[in-house]
Amino acid sequence: MNDAPRPYPVMLSIAGSDSGGGAGIQADIKIGCQLGVFVATAITSVTSQNTCEVVGRSDIAPDFISSQILTVCADTMPQAAKTGMIPTPEAVVAVARTLRSVGIENLVVDPVLISTSGHALASPLEEVAAAMREELFPLATLVTPNLHEAAYLAGFADTDSIEPPTLCSRLGAKAVLLKGGHKTGCRCDDLLIEADSVAASFPAERIDTVNTHGTGCSLSSAIACSLAAGMPLMRAIANAKDLITTDLRLAADYRHGKGHGPLFFFTGGKHYINKES
Ligand code: PLP
């Protein structure tokens, strides 16, 4: 029998390169491999970093970021895209206008501003934030800030003052997933806010591990991959949370680097990894 060849679901990751391999583009590709979704990339900046620190970054020119997006879309149009680190306001505008011109169907925006180690991954911060609110968030199916990003981008004095139901209108977004990973205490539930009300809560218990580098990148990538595979938004978030929770739990058994290690990206192939060695 001669079945017609099938297309892969494709997700386009528009993000920075992490030389350490745990976050950014590298994490996004590994997540796609776990979910069976083909990940294409438009690299926005190349960082020099390891599990302890970001030493520097070399930003890609906005026109060349757009060129990568257009070239991929001309051949293998993705069903979904995600954005991660976008280093300058000019690059944010270029990405937003290019995505609008190609008519991307599903877009997850992870508004990365500062690394866990405290290095600015976007600058000047205020101008990047304004460009995101004006140009990028209105295009997004979902925006996925952590508590610090939500407070900064939505104009709250601190993370304790965030009023979740107001986030969509403050950010100019259709839907916001407010991530709970930076809460203190044993719970880190995520809240889905749609049309200025809390639509759902995704429960999660805190996992005791230092290996959290790239968690935000990986979650947004897993949501975008799930959307590319045809899942509706709520199911895509639940599917992504499931995978990231498993990857975090399994990562707790490993030590990689001297700082914050990566997730365990090998579910599906984990029988090849010898825990004793
Ligand atoms: N480096 C790059 C290139 C990233 O895209 C990200 C993603 O958010 C980070 C670093 C931040 O990783 P983390 O804050 O999890 O250390």
pLDDT in tens, 183-210: 666 678 899 999 989 999 998 888 989 9
Check residue 183 and give its pLDDT.
Answer: 65
Confidence of residue 53 (pLDDT cuts 50, 70, 90): very high
Q: How far is the CA of 217 from the centre of ligand 1 (A)?
A: 7
**H or E segment at 44?**
strand 38-49
- Whether residue 52 has pLDDT greater than 50: yes
Tens of pLDDT along 113-128? 998 888 999 999 999 9
- Whether residue 271 has pLDDT greater than 70: no
Whole-angstrom Cα distance, residue 111 to residue 136?
A: 10
Active site (catalytic) residues: 179, 212, 214-217
What do you get for the CA distance between the two ends of the chain, in Å? Answer: 45
Tens of pLDDT along 236-253? 999 999 999 999 999 999
| Burial status of residue 126 (CB atoms within 10 A of its CB: 0-12, 13-18, 19 or more) | exposed
Whole-angstrom Cα distance, residue 102 to residue 236?
A: 23
Q: How far is the CA of 109 from the centre of ligand 1 (A)?
A: 14
The preferred substitution site among 13, 17, 18 for testing ligand 1, maximizing ligand atoms within 8 Å of CB, is: 18
Protein residue with least CA distance to atom 6, ligand 1? 24
Length of the chain: 277
Confidence of residue 25 (pLDDT cuts 50, 70, 90): very high
Mean pLDDT of the chain: 93
Check residue 1 and give its pLDDT.
Answer: 56
Tens of pLDDT along 129-151? 999 999 999 999 999 999 999 99
Q: Output DSSP code: residue 270.
A: G
**Mean pLDDT value across residues 145-171:** 97
Please answer whether residues 59 and 91 qualify as being in contact, where contact means their C-beta atoms are separated by less than 8 angstroms: yes
Check residue 268 and give its pLDDT.
Answer: 64
Tell me which residue of 6, 93, 4, 31 sits closest to 227, measured CA to CA.
Answer: 31
Q: How far is the CA of 149 from the centre of ligand 1 (A)?
A: 13
